Structure 1
Amino acid sequence: MAFKHVAAAALITASLIATPAAVSARPKLTGEQQLAKILEGREAGKPVTCIPLNQANDTQVVDKTAIVYRIGGTLYVNRPTNADKLDSDSILVTKLFSSQLCRLDTIQLHDRSTRSWRGFVGLQDFVPYTRVKQPAAPAN
């Protein structure tokens, strides 16, 4: 009888140990999939050449794809040249020559752990994405 309890306990322990591996085995989203998830429920507007960086609340790097700047309720997506160098673990070093971040400005990339230089990206137009307005419910 004691053997059954030991076997059952070993089986339960083995399943608990295996569970984290199964959870972490989920495939990682590609950069395009990550960006689509960020932009879900939003629609693209007319691209602009500059944004006021001092008004940006948040900046998010999408691996090998884009940089997303949040200004108020609008997300501005920039798909820079050399986007394959973008990594969510990179530090973005931006040197501004005015209060705006513009097309053709460059951003240096530094490794977060070693602080070493990893390359740069060249900005392109910024595409604004705003929330899609939901149609009003019909009046009864």
Structure 2
Amino acid sequence: MRTSLTLMLASALMMTSGLASAATDRSPDAQIARATAGRIAGTPVDCIFLRDIRSSKIISRTAIIYEANNGTVYVNRPPAGASQLRDGDVLVTDTHSSRLCSIDTVRLYSTSARMQTGAVGLGPFIPYTKPARNPGH
């Protein structure tokens, strides 16, 4: 009886630790870590060229990740409105130049409600690049 109770408790602990691990894997920090894995953070920049952006991804309530054509990943943690960021929303950028800058505002639209759900004021873009390969090794 005592052995089966111990086994049940051990099983329950393993299941809850697995659920906690799964929840952690979906955390904003874990999502950003996956997007920047194997890359080195560079000096933050104020602007990136729109023509260089291949894709963007919202990390709920935390950040926007922009992937550039050259493989650089830029992480932007908006200082204003980040709490309005939601997975599945669409970013609408209205710029008056060829660059997206830290002074720009990005509107958020819900695809399900088909209406604007908020706006964020962008911050600096932190570039993450893959380390240079050493051809001699």
> What range is the shorter-chain TM-score in?
0.7 to 0.9
- The reply to whether residue 49 of structure 1 matches residue 46 of structure 2 is yes
Deviation at 1:135, TM superposition (A): 5.9
**Number of paired residues?**
115
Structure 1: gaps of 5 or more residues: 1-22
Q: Deviations over 1:24-47 (max 9, x none)?
A: xx4361111111111111111011
Aligned alpha-carbon RMSD (Å):
2.0
In structure 2, what is the equivalent of residue 58 of structure 1? 55
In structure 1, what is the equivalent of residue 91 of structure 2? 92
Q: How do 1:1-140 and structure 2 match up within 5 A? A: 26-27=22-23, 29-71=26-68, 72-80=70-78, 81-133=80-132
Q: Deviations over 1:99-123 (max 9, x none)?
A: 1000110011111111111110000
Query: One-letter code of the match for 1:123?
Result: L
In structure 1, what is the equivalent of residue 5 of structure 2? none
Q: Secondary structure at the match of 2:30?
A: helix
Alignment partners' CA distance in 1, 2:57 and 2:36: 12
Alignment partners' CA distance in 2, 1:36 and 1:83: 18
Alignment TM-score, normalising by the size of structure 1: 0.74
Deviation at 1:137, TM superposition (A): 7.5
Alignment TM-score, normalising by the size of structure 2: 0.76
Aligned-residue identity in percent: 39
Q: Deviations over 1:51-89 (max 9, x none)?
A: 001221111111111111111110111101221111121
Query: One-letter code of the match for 1:91?
Result: V
Alignment partners' CA distance in 1, 2:127 and 2:86: 22
Deviates more, 1:44-53 or 1:126-135: 126-135
Q: Secondary structure at the match of 2:119?
A: strand
Q: Secondary structure at the match of 1:57?
A: strand
Alignment partners' CA distance in 1, 2:29 and 2:63: 9
Deviation at 1:134, TM superposition (A): 5.7
